[in-house]
Structure 1
Amino acid sequence: MAQSIRTMISPERYVQGKGAIHQLGHHLSQIGSKPVLVADDVVWGFVGDDVEASLTEAELPVDRRAFGGVPSAKEVDRLVGEVTSAGADVLVAIGGGSTIDAVKAAGHLAGVRWANAPTVASTDAPCSALSVIYTEEGEFEAYRFFPRNPDLVLVDSQVVANAPAEFLVAGVGDALATWLEARATSRSGSTTMAGGLPTLTGTALAKLSWDVLWENALPAIDAVRDHQVTPAVEKVIEANTLLSGLGFESGGLAAAHAIHNGLTSVAATHGLAHGQKVNLGSVAQLVLEGAPPAELREFVEFTTEVGLPTTLVEVGIKPDDAESVRAVATAAAAEGETIHSMPFEVTAEDVAAALASIDRHATKIRERAHLPAPTPYTAKH
């Protein structure tokens, strides 16, 4: 029997704005009385004082635990132990997508509620009811799905603007894929990460995320380079975090994220942000679709201006490195991957051909538009 149920899911509450971090304690007090906060030392160094003040004002205890750096199964289990030993009733992620994914998974296993306070707008992880789990070496391992979304997502726009602009750039790469993948999922009639067919709402929010980013990404990135919060910055934060989060989960994932997952199988890519690799996946998806030349050209030009990679060399892989390209393609086309939500059959050979064709074509597009030539990426060890 064909799937006919449509599903839309979302976090319980979303809060965004300049100074929102000062309301964290107030909102957490509606969820629990004994929170455990998870943040690495760098993040805690620049938001710790504000978080402590906010929780103290709300008469909540301040119990911060460190994050190990990679959302691996081992790190998730360690955090479960921390939560259990503390007797916590709510687990709070403060940081980026890796911290958030680890906290969601740990909160679910520990049987407590969970909340996210992202300090960057670099992924659409904060709002979702799933975590991406990696090996301790940084390779994609699995998606873990949960029966509910976070109880709270709170984003302080000034905190986001204070972070390096490269985080916002990466978030744009992650969020632009949302519409391309939702569009493909809608055409194929595949199920989404929410466990049903895409809703009109999920697909429309994915498209809205796309439209907001094309209009606002470039001025927002410029503003964040000066650590300023402008209306464009607020719109891009919302597009990267909320619109993309709802859009990917209830609209659908397809080739772009599967190719991202494939890229993680090559060690040379491990130093790159999630959204950087996703953007290359978006370019490859457009090639797989046989997108109109104008659509591919505009996407390459725009994302190059944003500062995202549009070629293999920019993610550390030479286009003639057949072994690496094949490894990426094989992982991207593995059984159960989201690439099979495309409205046509996709094989590893198709993915390899799309990837191998990207560099020459994207480089020509950039030359004609007088944009910078691709710079080879070298992983930092």
Structure 2
Amino acid sequence: MANIIISPGKYVQGKGELKNISKHTKNLGENFFVIVSTSGMKRVANIIKESFSDSNTNLIFEIFNGECSENEIKRLQKSFQENNCDVVIGIGGGKILDTAKAIAYFENVPVVIAPTIASTDAPCSALSVIYTDEGIFDKYLLLNKNPDLILVDTQIIVSAPSRLLISGMGDALATYFELRACKRANSLNMSNGHITLAAEALAKLCYNTLLSEGFKAKMAVNNNVVTKAVENVVEANTLLSGLGFESGGLSGAHAIHNGFTVLQECHNLYHGEKVAFGTIAQLVLENAPLEEIKEVIDFCLSVGLPTNLSDMGIKKIDKDDIMKVAEASCAEGETIYNMPFDVTPYDVYSAILTADKLGSHYHK
């Protein structure tokens, strides 16, 4: 089996960089189909129009209906075809970006991804998460390639609530530890290959960047300003974690995240917030050194990520509910089975309760 790493065609990040979108996309096509939300239209449409004002490019803007569903994809795909477009641009949050990637996949055209938040590592991936029109998870759509261009304007990123960037740190926090588990298990990554040295180095750099820059970035984003620390954390959340998870693999932390989705108390949490606690639980499951667990907990405390079940919204622990979380974490096909040892629901149950106690201890 080969070692494989996959990545987007180009990654561009910088303050005010959206105004240069014409320059970065000039060789991709001539008729651009731009998917945005209603609020995004107000914030970015003029920037994009100005960027393309000196070119012969045609711009077609379409408002996203809110769900990355099969019906929404088909509706936008029909508009794409009727307007003879040849490039898709998705600007916004994860569901818009996944919709743009899906349309480009079905139409076999280039796709440009411009995230307006840095709350997950999904923008770089060759994957779209498909929901029903009511917002219920439906399926994963595996794409044949990564986006042609990722364009991240950090001025737009810092205009969003700081909790979103912090959530992205939680998602990125798992990258190194999940890759490490997958490597120990000799399991395959998202591209059905083994882990390269490059992917391992990127995942480790992702973790180190969070530790050194995360708190400083939080302070800056609380004031809606871009600093070097913000630039570094946005890159860690988006690029380093994106390449690391896709070319490294997922294991315990994301499976435990999925388990917590069965509890109503956790429904107001962002993806990365649940992943952060899942990372602590994974380290307990592995019986990692206490110094390493404490380092992760201290980081979470410094930026405001959950370290115990109370932080997760579970104010009164019902052990039957925690077992339900553990059982969902161990469902057939879950990434928990990429851990380098056999895992049972009882093991996950025990790790969650122990992680809660450890997180509460260092909370003091």
Q: Same fold (TM over 0.5)?
A: yes
Distance 1:284 1:247 in 2: 20
Aligned partner of 1:123 in structure 2 is 120
- Quote the offset at 1:88 in angstroms: 2.0
- Quote the offset at 1:96 in angstroms: 1.7
Aligned partner of 2:303 in structure 1 is 306
Structure 2: stretches of 5+ with no match in the other structure: none
Aligned partner of 1:27 in structure 2 is 24
Question: Could you tell me which amino acid in structure 2 is paired with residue 82 of structure 1?
Answer: S
Aligned partner of 1:67 in structure 2 is 64
Aligned partner of 1:285 in structure 2 is 282
Q: What per-residue deviation string (whole Å, max 9, x for no partner) do you get for residues 127-173 of structure 1?
A: 11112334555554433211110000001111112222111111111
Distance 1:319 1:292 in 2: 29
Aligned partner of 1:274 in structure 2 is 271
Aligned partner of 1:376 in structure 2 is none
Q: What per-residue deviation string (whole Å, max 9, x for no partner) do you get for residues 78-111 of structure 1?
A: 3333333333211111012222122212321233
2:360 to 356, 363, 372: 363
1:139–1:265 Cα contact (<8 Å) kept: no
Instruction: Map 1:158-307 to 2 at 5 A.
Output: 158-307=155-304
Distance 1:263 1:73 in 2: 26
Aligned partner of 2:55 in structure 1 is 58
- Structure 2 residue 6 is matched with structure 1 residue 9: yes
Aligned length: 364
Distance 1:219 1:362 in 2: 22
Question: Could you tell me which amino acid in structure 1 is paired with residue 27 of structure 2?
Answer: Q
1:81 to 78, 82, 88: 78
Instruction: Please give the secondary structure, in 2, of the residue aligned with 1:56.
Output: coil
Instruction: Please give the secondary structure, in 2, of the residue aligned with 1:365.
Output: helix
Distance 1:135 1:259 in 2: 23
Question: Could you tell me which amino acid in structure 2 is paired with residue 344 of structure 1?
Answer: F
- Quote the offset at 1:216 in angstroms: 0.6
- Quote the offset at 1:240 in angstroms: 0.9
Instruction: Map 1:36-51 to 2 at 5 A.
Output: 36-51=33-48
Structure 1: stretches of 5+ with no match in the other structure: 368-381
Aligned partner of 1:91 in structure 2 is 88
Distance 1:138 1:354 in 2: 31
- Quote the offset at 1:246 in angstroms: 0.7
1:138–1:270 Cα contact (<8 Å) kept: no
- Quote the offset at 1:305 in angstroms: 1.3
Question: Could you tell me which amino acid in structure 2 is paired with residue 101 of structure 1?
Answer: D
Question: Could you tell me which amino acid in structure 2 is paired with residue 218 of structure 1?
Answer: F
Computed over aligned residues only, the root mean square deviation of the Cα atoms, in angstroms, reads 1.9
Distance 2:129 2:104 in 1: 14
Which stretch of the first structure deviates more once superposed, 47-56 or 251-260? Answer: 47-56
Distance 1:266 1:104 in 2: 30
Distance 2:141 2:302 in 1: 34
Distance 2:173 2:49 in 1: 35
TM-score, L = length of structure 2: 0.93
